[in-house]
Chain A
Amino acid sequence: DSGVTQTPKHLITATGQRVTLRCSPRSGDLSVYWYQQSLDQGLQFLIQYYNGEERAKGNILERFSAQQFPDLHSELNLSSLELGDSALYFCASSVQGRNGYTFGSGTRLTVV
Protein backbone atom coordinates (compact mmCIF):
# COMPACT_ATOMS: atom_id res chain seq x y z
CA ASP A 1 0.00 0.00 0.00
CA SER A 2 1.58 3.24 -1.19
CA GLY A 3 -0.54 5.45 1.04
CA VAL A 4 -2.27 7.10 -1.92
CA THR A 5 -5.84 5.83 -2.26
CA GLN A 6 -7.78 5.97 -5.50
CA THR A 7 -11.41 5.01 -5.97
CA PRO A 8 -13.00 3.36 -7.77
CA LYS A 9 -10.49 0.83 -9.11
CA HIS A 10 -12.59 0.11 -12.18
CA LEU A 11 -15.28 2.09 -13.93
CA ILE A 12 -17.30 1.20 -17.00
CA THR A 13 -19.56 3.84 -18.45
CA ALA A 14 -21.21 4.85 -21.70
CA THR A 15 -20.21 7.57 -24.11
CA GLY A 16 -21.57 10.98 -23.20
CA GLN A 17 -21.66 10.24 -19.50
CA ARG A 18 -19.85 11.96 -16.64
CA VAL A 19 -17.71 10.31 -13.97
CA THR A 20 -15.78 11.39 -10.90
CA LEU A 21 -12.50 9.83 -9.83
CA ARG A 22 -11.33 10.30 -6.28
CA CYS A 23 -7.86 10.47 -4.76
CA SER A 24 -6.73 10.67 -1.14
CA PRO A 25 -3.07 11.67 -0.93
CA ARG A 26 -0.50 10.22 1.42
CA SER A 27 -0.68 11.71 4.91
CA GLY A 28 1.21 14.99 5.02
CA ASP A 29 1.47 15.42 1.25
CA LEU A 30 0.11 18.75 0.04
CA SER A 31 0.56 18.26 -3.71
CA VAL A 32 -1.69 16.08 -5.84
CA TYR A 33 -1.02 15.27 -9.48
CA TRP A 34 -3.28 13.56 -12.01
CA TYR A 35 -1.93 11.54 -14.91
CA GLN A 36 -3.58 9.65 -17.76
CA GLN A 37 -1.92 6.47 -18.97
CA SER A 38 -2.75 4.96 -22.33
CA LEU A 39 -0.86 2.30 -24.26
CA ASP A 40 0.57 4.57 -26.93
CA GLN A 41 1.06 7.78 -24.95
CA GLY A 42 2.61 6.67 -21.71
CA LEU A 43 1.98 8.81 -18.64
CA GLN A 44 0.50 12.15 -19.62
CA PHE A 45 0.37 14.90 -17.01
CA LEU A 46 -3.10 16.38 -16.60
CA ILE A 47 -3.12 18.75 -13.65
CA GLN A 48 -1.46 19.55 -10.32
CA TYR A 49 -2.92 20.96 -7.12
CA TYR A 50 -1.02 22.24 -4.12
CA ASN A 51 -2.85 22.78 -0.84
CA GLY A 52 -6.15 23.42 -2.59
CA GLU A 53 -4.85 25.66 -5.37
CA GLU A 54 -4.26 24.73 -8.98
CA ARG A 55 -0.49 24.81 -9.58
CA ALA A 56 0.01 23.55 -13.12
CA LYS A 57 -1.98 22.32 -16.08
CA GLY A 58 -0.88 19.86 -18.71
CA ASN A 59 -2.69 18.19 -21.56
CA ILE A 60 -6.07 18.28 -19.87
CA LEU A 61 -9.14 18.47 -22.08
CA GLU A 62 -11.77 21.15 -21.46
CA ARG A 63 -14.24 18.32 -20.75
CA PHE A 64 -12.08 17.39 -17.76
CA SER A 65 -11.80 19.30 -14.51
CA ALA A 66 -10.37 18.74 -11.08
CA GLN A 67 -10.31 20.20 -7.61
CA GLN A 68 -8.58 19.68 -4.29
CA PHE A 69 -10.64 20.00 -1.14
CA PRO A 70 -9.66 21.41 2.29
CA ASP A 71 -8.97 17.89 3.57
CA LEU A 72 -6.53 17.60 0.61
CA HIS A 73 -8.36 14.85 -1.23
CA SER A 74 -8.82 15.51 -4.91
CA GLU A 75 -11.42 14.66 -7.51
CA LEU A 76 -11.04 14.45 -11.28
CA ASN A 77 -14.26 15.00 -13.18
CA LEU A 78 -14.56 13.67 -16.72
CA SER A 79 -17.63 14.67 -18.74
CA SER A 80 -19.08 14.04 -22.20
CA LEU A 81 -17.01 10.89 -22.26
CA GLU A 82 -15.69 9.53 -25.53
CA LEU A 83 -14.31 6.11 -26.41
CA GLY A 84 -10.83 7.62 -26.55
CA ASP A 85 -11.03 8.60 -22.89
CA SER A 86 -10.67 4.95 -21.94
CA ALA A 87 -7.41 4.75 -20.01
CA LEU A 88 -5.81 4.33 -16.62
CA TYR A 89 -5.98 7.46 -14.50
CA PHE A 90 -3.37 7.82 -11.80
CA CYS A 91 -3.16 10.15 -8.90
CA ALA A 92 0.15 10.88 -7.20
CA SER A 93 1.10 12.97 -4.20
CA SER A 94 4.25 14.58 -2.89
CA VAL A 95 5.59 16.89 -0.23
CA GLN A 96 6.94 20.17 -1.59
CA GLY A 97 10.68 20.28 -1.57
CA ARG A 98 11.11 16.52 -1.35
CA ASN A 99 11.91 14.28 -4.25
CA GLY A 100 9.58 12.02 -6.13
CA TYR A 101 5.94 11.17 -6.23
CA THR A 102 3.98 8.39 -4.62
CA PHE A 103 1.41 6.97 -7.01
CA GLY A 104 -1.90 5.34 -6.25
CA SER A 105 -2.98 2.12 -7.92
CA GLY A 106 -5.07 3.94 -10.49
CA THR A 107 -8.62 3.90 -11.81
CA ARG A 108 -9.22 1.96 -15.00
CA LEU A 109 -11.89 3.77 -17.00
CA THR A 110 -13.60 1.99 -19.85
CA VAL A 111 -15.99 3.96 -22.04
CA VAL A 112 -18.31 1.82 -24.15
Chain B
Amino acid sequence: QQQVKQSPQSLIVQKGGISIINCAYENTAFDYFPWYQQFPGKGPALLIAIRPDVSEKKEGRFTISFNKSAKQFSLHIMDSQPGDSATYFCAASLMNRDDKIIFGKGTRLHILP
Protein backbone atom coordinates (compact mmCIF):
# COMPACT_ATOMS: atom_id res chain seq x y z
CA GLN B 1 0.00 0.00 0.00
CA GLN B 2 1.55 3.24 -1.16
CA GLN B 3 0.54 5.86 1.37
CA VAL B 4 2.32 8.78 -0.32
CA LYS B 5 2.06 9.16 -4.09
CA GLN B 6 4.48 11.50 -5.84
CA SER B 7 4.53 12.89 -9.37
CA PRO B 8 6.13 13.36 -11.78
CA GLN B 9 8.87 10.70 -11.74
CA SER B 10 11.19 13.04 -13.59
CA LEU B 11 11.15 16.71 -14.46
CA ILE B 12 13.23 18.93 -16.70
CA VAL B 13 13.07 22.69 -16.17
CA GLN B 14 14.92 25.58 -17.73
CA LYS B 15 17.19 27.66 -15.52
CA GLY B 16 15.16 30.42 -13.92
CA GLY B 17 11.89 28.53 -14.27
CA ILE B 18 9.55 27.14 -11.61
CA SER B 19 9.82 23.47 -10.68
CA ILE B 20 6.65 21.91 -9.25
CA ILE B 21 6.43 18.47 -7.65
CA ASN B 22 3.15 17.11 -6.37
CA CYS B 23 2.26 14.60 -3.67
CA ALA B 24 -0.91 13.03 -2.33
CA TYR B 25 -1.40 11.13 0.90
CA GLU B 26 -4.02 8.76 2.24
CA ASN B 27 -3.74 8.74 6.03
CA THR B 28 -5.54 11.78 7.46
CA ALA B 29 -3.73 11.25 10.76
CA PHE B 30 -0.40 12.31 9.28
CA ASP B 31 0.78 15.49 11.00
CA TYR B 32 4.17 16.21 9.47
CA PHE B 33 5.03 16.58 5.80
CA PRO B 34 8.72 16.99 4.98
CA TRP B 35 10.53 17.24 1.68
CA TYR B 36 13.97 15.71 1.29
CA GLN B 37 16.62 16.49 -1.31
CA GLN B 38 19.13 13.87 -2.38
CA PHE B 39 22.25 14.38 -4.48
CA PRO B 40 24.01 11.41 -6.13
CA GLY B 41 26.12 9.47 -3.67
CA LYS B 42 24.61 11.22 -0.67
CA GLY B 43 21.87 10.49 1.81
CA PRO B 44 18.61 12.43 1.67
CA ALA B 45 18.68 15.76 3.50
CA LEU B 46 15.72 17.59 4.99
CA LEU B 47 14.84 20.56 2.77
CA ILE B 48 11.63 22.00 4.17
CA ALA B 49 8.64 20.70 6.12
CA ILE B 50 5.09 21.71 6.98
CA ARG B 51 2.43 20.87 9.51
CA PRO B 52 -1.22 20.51 8.39
CA ASP B 53 -2.38 23.58 10.31
CA VAL B 54 -0.84 25.92 7.74
CA SER B 55 -1.49 26.14 4.00
CA GLU B 56 1.89 27.41 2.88
CA LYS B 57 5.48 27.58 4.07
CA LYS B 58 8.27 29.40 2.31
CA GLU B 59 12.01 29.16 2.85
CA GLY B 60 14.03 31.10 0.33
CA ARG B 61 13.23 29.81 -3.16
CA PHE B 62 11.42 26.74 -1.80
CA THR B 63 7.70 26.78 -0.98
CA ILE B 64 5.39 24.03 0.24
CA SER B 65 1.70 24.43 -0.58
CA PHE B 66 -0.64 22.26 1.50
CA ASN B 67 -4.29 21.39 0.79
CA LYS B 68 -5.66 19.45 3.73
CA SER B 69 -9.12 18.83 2.27
CA ALA B 70 -7.66 17.39 -0.93
CA LYS B 71 -4.92 15.52 0.98
CA GLN B 72 -2.34 16.99 -1.36
CA PHE B 73 0.82 19.03 -1.01
CA SER B 74 3.39 20.31 -3.42
CA LEU B 75 6.90 21.72 -3.59
CA HIS B 76 7.60 24.79 -5.69
CA ILE B 77 11.16 25.77 -6.50
CA MET B 78 11.29 29.32 -7.79
CA ASP B 79 14.09 30.59 -10.04
CA SER B 80 15.37 27.03 -10.44
CA GLN B 81 19.15 26.70 -10.69
CA PRO B 82 21.40 23.94 -12.07
CA GLY B 83 22.53 23.29 -8.49
CA ASP B 84 18.94 22.29 -7.66
CA SER B 85 19.30 19.24 -9.91
CA ALA B 86 18.71 16.33 -7.53
CA THR B 87 16.11 13.78 -6.51
CA TYR B 88 13.31 15.14 -4.33
CA PHE B 89 11.20 13.03 -2.00
CA CYS B 90 7.97 14.07 -0.37
CA ALA B 91 7.09 12.28 2.83
CA ALA B 92 4.60 12.07 5.66
CA SER B 93 4.58 10.83 9.22
CA LEU B 94 2.97 10.92 12.64
CA MET B 95 5.55 12.97 14.48
CA ASN B 96 3.62 13.08 17.73
CA ARG B 97 4.32 9.36 17.95
CA ASP B 98 7.87 9.60 16.63
CA ASP B 99 6.65 7.27 13.92
CA LYS B 100 8.44 6.25 10.80
CA ILE B 101 8.47 8.60 7.82
CA ILE B 102 6.75 7.27 4.70
CA PHE B 103 8.40 8.49 1.52
CA GLY B 104 7.10 9.00 -1.98
CA LYS B 105 9.02 7.32 -4.80
CA GLY B 106 10.94 10.46 -5.67
CA THR B 107 11.24 12.93 -8.52
CA ARG B 108 14.45 13.34 -10.49
CA LEU B 109 14.76 17.04 -11.25
CA HIS B 110 17.13 18.32 -13.91
CA ILE B 111 17.63 22.04 -14.41
CA LEU B 112 18.93 22.95 -17.83
CA PRO B 113 21.69 25.60 -17.76
Residues of A within 8 A of B (CB): 2, 4, 31, 33, 35, 41-43, 45, 48, 50, 55-56, 58, 90, 92, 94, 96-97, 99-106
Residue B112, interface by CB 8 Å:
no
Interface of chain A, main secondary structure: strand
Pairwise interchain contact A42-B106, C-beta atoms closer than 8 A: yes
B6 → A minimal CB distance (Å):
8
Pairwise interchain contact A43-B49, C-beta atoms closer than 8 A: no
Residues of B within 8 A of A (CB): 32, 34, 36, 41-46, 49, 89, 95, 98-106
A56 to B94, CA, bound (A): 13
Chain B residue at minimal CB-CB distance from A4 = B43
Pairwise interchain contact A45-B104, C-beta atoms closer than 8 A: no
Pairwise interchain contact A99-B34, C-beta atoms closer than 8 A: yes
Q: Which of chain B's residues have a CB closer than 8 A to the CB of A103?
A: 36, 43-45
A45 to B101, CA, bound (A): 8
Partner of B105, one of A42, A96, A99, A104: A42
A96 to B101, CA, bound (A): 13
Pairwise interchain contact B98-A31, C-beta atoms closer than 8 A: yes
Given contacts A2-B43, A42-B103, contact A96 B49 (CB under 8 A): no
A8 → B minimal CB distance (Å):
14
Q: Which of chain A's residues have a CB closer than 8 A to the CB of B103?
A: 35, 42-43, 45
Q: Which of chain B's residues have a CB closer than 8 A to the CB of A2?
A: 43, 45
Partner of A99, one of B44, B45, B95, B102: B95
A39 → B minimal CB distance (Å):
10
Pairwise interchain contact A100-B34, C-beta atoms closer than 8 A: yes
A-B contacts besides A42-B103, A43-B44, A58-B100, 6 pairs, CB < 8 Å = A31-B98, A33-B101, A45-B100, A48-B100, A99-B95, A100-B34
